[in-house]
Structure 1
Amino acid sequence: MRVPVPEPSGSKRQRVSRILEHFRDKVDVRHFEDIYRQIHQDPELSCLEHRTAQLAADHLIALGFNVHDKVGGHGVVGSLENGQGPTVLLRADMDALPIQEETQLSYASTKRMADVDGIERPVAHACGHDMHVASLLATACFLHAARACWSGRLLVLFQPNEERGGGARAMVKGGLYGARGVPKPDVVLGQHIGSNKAGILRIGSGPVLAGKRAFRVRIPGKGGHAGAPQNAIDPVVTACHTVIRLQVIASRETDPNEMVVVTCGSIHAGDASNVIPDQAEMTVDIRAFSPEVLHKAVESMKRIIKAECDASGIQEEPSIQETENVPPLINDSEVTEPLREQFLYTFGNDMVQDMGRGMASDDFSILAPDGVPYAYWNLGSTDPALWRKYEREGRLHDLPSNHSPLFAPSIKPTLESAMSAMSVAALTFLATLTLEGHEGVGVEDEIVCMWN
């Protein structure tokens, strides 16, 4: 599928920048700052985002979007038809993390809620999804206000359950592009905030985020008295040997030119020091940039777990249950290169950097099925003055990052740059028109536009 860039020229880039310049200050960002604080103070765990989803749906309905809700759980999609042209999908994720916030902010979360397994957890937006929601709503407002200056179809999608890796797939399987009547997009765009300086954009082609497969493993044993280990089969020992052995997948079974990370995130077994338990449970997380390397690592994991159980004399088969399956995120150059050129033109060389590769994962690419091209970029969220202070002191590594209980984006600069970046990205692929007589025109005023 060809990417819909009707005119990837200097004149197109100039039009996009002028539309941003004209309308950016006409969107009341303070309203979306309040929305951000509201979502931050009332976070919701994966698969439980009903209030956040309702907030997004209500705002889109008020703007005049055609809204589809409860897609694949609590997913929301707003559609704005605006003449002939490409269909562009913009995505924000909504779920929070089971983390106790420690920022001491006036709007910090003190919330606890039961997760989908019924276990009560602390909840915090420690990954920036609250900013993603607020900034995409601001983007929807911006593009609605500027609709006389572009043509096509705009889709804004609010996705549940990104942190557990199942939300995008659930929305697609839930009929996102079929029974729900949402048209398949020509291009899919997404951004994610991080701890870099607010306003800094990082974008790149090729693999940028790792694929991930996660598993819940049960290693059976034979329980008994700690004083008579000869009459038992200790699953704790088997689990410990398994954790150590799993590390050879990266060090001895994978081409050194490739990258694999194998992590045992938890081990649970027994309750008393004088009792050998009858089973051990562990979780395993495997990440790689190549689907083939990821598959090979998973098969090695299964072989090692079975072999360690055999070595311990365990007759029962271990249980290996897959809990997450997220493909590598591989940006399409035919999307990222026009975006990079537009970002450089609009925001300047000092604000656009190469994204590089990271072992984090995101199920965003699943929203682009059947070869639909996509691009995903990072956006800084640290107050520039604070960033400069830490930089002078050589302590940038001490800045709280995503998934830290201290992660706290600087609201105003992050929200403004996130709205601007997503709006510019959408306009890069929508059919844009020339703004004429733009001085003094208000958001609700009629705007004279023509094809350039």
Structure 2
Amino acid sequence: MKKLTSAVTVSCLSLSSAFAASYLDKPVEDNLPSLVGIYKQIHQFPELSHQEAKTSALVADELRKAGFKVTERVGKFADGSQAYGVIGVLENGPGPRLLIRGDMDALPIIEETGVPYASQVRTKNAAGQEVGVMHACGHDIHTTTLIGTARLMAATRQQWKGTLVIVGQPAEETADGAKALLADNLYERFGRPDFAIALHDTPGRAAGQVAVTSGPTTAGVTSIDVVLRGVGAHGAEPQNAKDPVVMAGQFIVQLQTIVSREQDPRDPAVVTVGSIHGGTKRNVIPYEVKLELTTRSFSDKANQIIVDGVKRIARGVAISAGIPEDRMPIVTVVEKETLPSMHNNPALNARVKTALTSALGASNVFEDDAVMNSEDFGLFGLAGRQIPTVMFGLGIADPAELAAARAGGKPVPGAHTSRFKPVPEPGLRAGVKAMTAVATSLLQ
């Protein structure tokens, strides 16, 4: 009898999800022109991490219009500065509490997509350098989908019960946005959720498709700064120097052995030098070279092997160059840009997949492998994964362009590149319908 009751319950939930998904078709289409306009506005006027003033104001305004109770400037960074977090709360009777997160910040990249609404924004980064600004990771899609979902959940509240918490998150790209919100007593002020969900655009999937991953989903990231210190001299007199440029070359080459010869190949890891700066003139041997590293792994053991290896190789290169003890390299783990790996809760992931299948059809729902990219969304689950969290992938590639690229054996422009180009209308249509269907299925 228990088995029969369970089967009936699952069947009823499936029918409810399917009904909700069908019910959303017209509201999604009615809102789509407005949402595409919002997307293009956000895309054309992007803002870097810690600078999301206009984007957050837009999100707050849209949430208020939809009937949410809104709080702005939520979040405190490690330096004490206030973040541009936006929290909207919609209470709809007794039931679960669900958090939906969308990130708002852009990247310091000059856009080269050629679309009519391309960003022309230039600004200064934290170091005072003039940079381009571009939504090259799809956070404009995320933010617009968040707004669309909030609108539809408010308009269809007869389909669900509980409390919906919408989070417009700043500073995901600098890995300190979720930390800032939690440090500002997010759950104490707005209630601890029973579930937390999010989506992330996937340029390797066609618009209209979604993807789920159970268990490990994105890698943890550890950011490391390395300063190799030498002895400067005239470029014509290298015998009087301890050249940190040569040391940097040796250091970069030897770093490759951490993954290839120290790390268990069954436990993936990545070590990348993304920035190197040293010297001011071709005939001057500098006193130091600075390198910025990003490392990725899924396990604490792999991460420790990487950190220990970086420190050991830096010191070894310095010793081999004859650097005195008081000029040994300085290796610093940048805690504010360091995150643990993200895991999708298997049970919640199964529920999300069921809702996505009801909303978009089984042929448009895929299961993807974990990726080495990193995300701070998992922090909303708290230490030890106390709160079930799931992030699913949203296809945003033009289907024809994706098919042509695959036929030619070429990748489509990926995230964090100047030619990253989502197709707004079909991507937003699927994103809003998918996220609203998932939210409705969880708030039962």
Q: CA deviation at 1:120?
A: 1.3
In structure 1, distance between residues paired with 2:265 and 2:159: 51
Moved more, 409-418 or 397-406: 397-406
1:45 pairs with 39, 45, 48, which one? 48
Q: State, as a whole percentage, how many aligned pairs show the same letter.
A: 36
- 1:223-242 CA distance string (max 9 Å, x none): 00122212111111111111
Q: CA deviation at 1:130?
A: 0.4
1:291·1:328 contact (CA, 8 Å) conserved in 2?
Answer: no
Secondary structure at the counterpart of residue 186 of structure 2: coil
2:359·2:433 contact (CA, 8 Å) conserved in 1?
Answer: no
2:68 pairs with 61, 65, 70, which one? 65
Q: CA deviation at 1:78?
A: 0.7
In structure 2, distance between residues paired with 1:221 and 1:228: 14
| 2:11 is aligned with 1:22 | no
**Aligned counterpart, 2:237:** 228
1:47·1:116 contact (CA, 8 Å) conserved in 2?
Answer: no
| 2:101 is aligned with 1:91 | yes
Q: Would the alpha carbon gap of residues 154 and 8 (structure 1) be closer, same or farther in structure 2, given more than 3 Å must change?
A: farther
Bigger share in helix: 2
In structure 2, distance between residues paired with 1:335 and 1:15: 17
**Aligned counterpart, 1:320:** 331
Q: Would the alpha carbon gap of residues 118 and 272 (structure 1) be closer, same or farther in structure 2, given more than 3 Å must change?
A: closer
| 2:379 is aligned with 1:366 | yes
What residue identity is the alignment partner of 1:168? A
| 2:44 is aligned with 1:34 | no
Q: CA deviation at 1:246?
A: 1.1
**Aligned counterpart, 2:400:** 385
1:215·1:322 contact (CA, 8 Å) conserved in 2?
Answer: yes
**Aligned counterpart, 1:159:** 169
In structure 2, distance between residues paired with 1:24 and 1:302: 56
1:209·1:329 contact (CA, 8 Å) conserved in 2?
Answer: yes
Q: CA deviation at 1:105?
A: 1.1
In structure 2, distance between residues paired with 1:8 and 1:383: 39
- 1:128-170 CA distance string (max 9 Å, x none): 1001101110000000001112101101111111111111111
In structure 2, distance between residues paired with 1:390 and 1:422: 28
2:222·2:338 contact (CA, 8 Å) conserved in 1?
Answer: yes
2:106·2:133 contact (CA, 8 Å) conserved in 1?
Answer: yes
Secondary structure at the counterpart of residue 237 of structure 1: helix
1:401 pairs with 368, 389, 414, which one? 414
What residue identity is the alignment partner of 2:357? L
1:260·1:286 contact (CA, 8 Å) conserved in 2?
Answer: yes
**Aligned counterpart, 2:78:** none
In structure 2, distance between residues paired with 1:374 and 1:406: 31
In structure 2, distance between residues paired with 1:248 and 1:273: 30
| 2:191 is aligned with 1:183 | yes
In structure 1, distance between residues paired with 2:397 and 2:187: 36
In structure 2, distance between residues paired with 1:401 and 1:288: 21
Q: Which runs of 4+ in 1 moved over 4 A?
A: none
Q: How many equivalent pairs are there?
A: 422
In structure 1, distance between residues paired with 2:68 and 2:323: 59
**Aligned counterpart, 2:366:** 353
**Aligned counterpart, 1:329:** 342
* Structure 1: stretches of 5+ with no match in the other structure: 432-452
Q: CA deviation at 1:361?
A: 0.8
In structure 2, distance between residues paired with 1:162 and 1:240: 32
2:223 pairs with 185, 193, 214, which one? 214
In structure 2, distance between residues paired with 1:70 and 1:310: 49
In structure 2, distance between residues paired with 1:303 and 1:82: 56
What residue identity is the alignment partner of 1:346? A
Secondary structure at the counterpart of residue 177 of structure 1: helix
In structure 2, distance between residues paired with 1:354 and 1:8: 25
1:305 pairs with 294, 311, 314, which one? 314
* Structure 2: stretches of 5+ with no match in the other structure: 1-5, 76-82
1:23·1:145 contact (CA, 8 Å) conserved in 2?
Answer: no
What residue identity is the alignment partner of 1:394? G
In structure 1, distance between residues paired with 2:307 and 2:315: 13
In structure 2, distance between residues paired with 1:204 and 1:8: 25
What residue identity is the alignment partner of 2:328? E
Q: CA deviation at 1:8?
A: 6.3
Secondary structure at the counterpart of residue 38 of structure 1: helix
State the TM-score, normalizing by the size of structure 2: 0.92
2:22·2:359 contact (CA, 8 Å) conserved in 1?
Answer: no
What residue identity is the alignment partner of 2:130? E
In structure 1, distance between residues paired with 2:283 and 2:90: 65
What residue identity is the alignment partner of 1:130? D
In structure 2, distance between residues paired with 1:317 and 1:127: 38
What residue identity is the alignment partner of 2:421? A
- 1:150-192 CA distance string (max 9 Å, x none): 10110111111111111111111122123xx111111110111
Q: CA deviation at 1:194?
A: 1.9
2:111·2:120 contact (CA, 8 Å) conserved in 1?
Answer: yes
- 1:266-321 CA distance string (max 9 Å, x none): 21111222211001011111101113211221122122212222222223232223
Secondary structure at the counterpart of residue 418 of structure 2: coil
**Aligned counterpart, 1:247:** 256
Secondary structure at the counterpart of residue 426 of structure 2: helix
